[in-house]
């Protein structure tokens, strides 16, 4: 049994003859040759080399890399290569996990389409802690008053495209891009100067390369409202009109604004809605409940 034909070598090691021929062609596992007869055969001890080749392939090494490893037999160099493969694998795992979260997010949106919330209705809701990357929105049209809803929304779309480019330039995963929200800083809210001058991109993992750039959006009670039909050609932006209603409610009910306004897009045109620049936005203002506050709204906690 010491001399194995290619067929027997294939059978013993659960590998195709074609794969063995490829290994031979690449110089990884060459059959031995009888000097007298010219007979080509595999030795039984070559099975361990074949095992090593297959294990290295499973770890993501190319055949050329495996050939170099088998020729060098340098433990320190092999460890360096293994560390590099491990880092690459961790990145692949992180990307797959982000893809899984994207799938979960889109499934949730499918459920939301089938059970759309009422729009223009105030609610008080507890929202857990989140993390977000903050971006400045560079778009002068966004800061001018008197624009129609359609004009503001078109300007915002341009700003979002610029935000995507900035994310890519900074090396952020594009999978985060689905979690974009417009932001009105707290001080502007207090002054009732409504201009969507910043944006949040929510991140939903703890990858240290990106989490270090993120800020914590604290858990809090939020005054919330859903808004759709944003693209009216003549009227002011509906989101702005609703936001003014929310600010009036806060003022009239002795509440205190404790953070930035967040307009989180939870459904958009691309897959779930109709055409144009239609979106469903979850409007959120973090508030403090003063002892004297009249709060007829129900607080929803998970």
Convert the pLDDT of each residue in 67-100 to its tens digit: 999 998 889 999 999 999 999 998 888 888 888 8
The pLDDT value given to residue 158: 84
What does the DSSP assignment read for 270-283?
TTTS-STT-EEEEE
pLDDT tens profile 133-159 = 999 986 655 555 567 777 777 788 888
Quick one: 108 and 240 in the same domain? no
pLDDT tens digits, 52-73 = 999 999 999 999 999 999 998 8
How does the average pLDDT of the chain come out, rounded? 85
Q: How far apart are CA 251 and CA 195, in angstroms?
A: 19
CATH number of the domain that residue 278 is part of: 3.20.80.10
Q: Are residues 129 and 107 in the same domain?
A: no
Place of tokens 């040759």: 33
Range(s) of the domain holding residue 178: 120-300
Least confident residue range of 49-53, 110-114, 158-162, 269-273: 269-273
* Residue 256: strand pairing partners: 288
Over residues 35-39, the mean pLDDT reads 81
Count of alpha carbons within 13 angstroms of residue 234, beta-carbon side: 0
H or E element that contains 202:
strand 198-203
CA 266 to chain centre: 15
Residue 30, both tokens: 């060459």
Q: Into how many domains does the chain fold?
A: 3
Q: CA distances (Å), 263 to each of 35, 185, 213, in order?
A: 79, 12, 21
Q: Do 12 and 155 have their domain in common?
A: no
Q: Are residues 175 and 281 in the same domain?
A: yes
Is the same domain home to 141 and 232? yes
Q: Are residues 64 and 161 in the same domain?
A: no
Nearest to 207 by CA among 282, 296, 74, 95: 95
Question: In which residue are the tokens 């009109």 written?
Answer: 241
- Helix or strand holding residue 64 (H, E): helix 63-72
């Amino acid at each position: 049994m010491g001399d194995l034909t290619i067929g027997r070598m294939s059978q013993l090691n659960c590998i195709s003859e074609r794969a063995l021929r490829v290994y031979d062609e690449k110089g990884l596992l060459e059959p031995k040759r009888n000097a007298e007869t010219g007979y080509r055969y595999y030795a039984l001890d070559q099975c361990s080399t074949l095992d090593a080749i297959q294990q290295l392939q499973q770890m993501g090494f190319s055949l050329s890399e495996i050939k170099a490893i088998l020729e060098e037999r340098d433990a320190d160099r092999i460890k360096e290569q293994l560390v590099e493969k491990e880092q690459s694998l961790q990145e692949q795992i992180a990307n797959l996990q982000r893809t899984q979260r994207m799938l979960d997010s889109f499934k949730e949106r499918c459920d939301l389409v089938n059970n759309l919330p009422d729009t223009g209705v105030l609610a008080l809701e507890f929202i857990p802690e989140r993390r977000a990357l903050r971006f400045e929105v560079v778009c002068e049209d966004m800061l001018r008053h008197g624009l129609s809803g359609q004009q503001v929304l078109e300007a915002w779309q341009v700003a979002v495209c610029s935000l995507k480019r900035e994310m890519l330039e900074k090396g952020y995963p594009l999978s985060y891009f689905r979690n974009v929200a417009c932001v009105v800083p707290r001080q502007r809210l207090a002054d009732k100067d409504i201009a969507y001058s910043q944006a949040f991109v929510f991140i939903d993992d703890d990858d240290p390369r990106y989490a270090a750039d993120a800020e914590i959006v604290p858990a809090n009670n939020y005054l919330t409202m859903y808004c759709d039909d944003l693209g009216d050609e003549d009227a002011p932006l509906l989101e702005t009109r609703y936001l003014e209603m929310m600010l009036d409610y806060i003022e009239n009910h002795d509440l205190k604004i404790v953070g930035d306004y967040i307009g989180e897009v939870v459904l958009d045109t691309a897959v779930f809605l109709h055409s144009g620049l239609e979106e469903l936005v979850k409007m959120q203002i973090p508030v403090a409940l003063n002892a004297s506050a009249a709060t007829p709204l129900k607080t929803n906690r998970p």
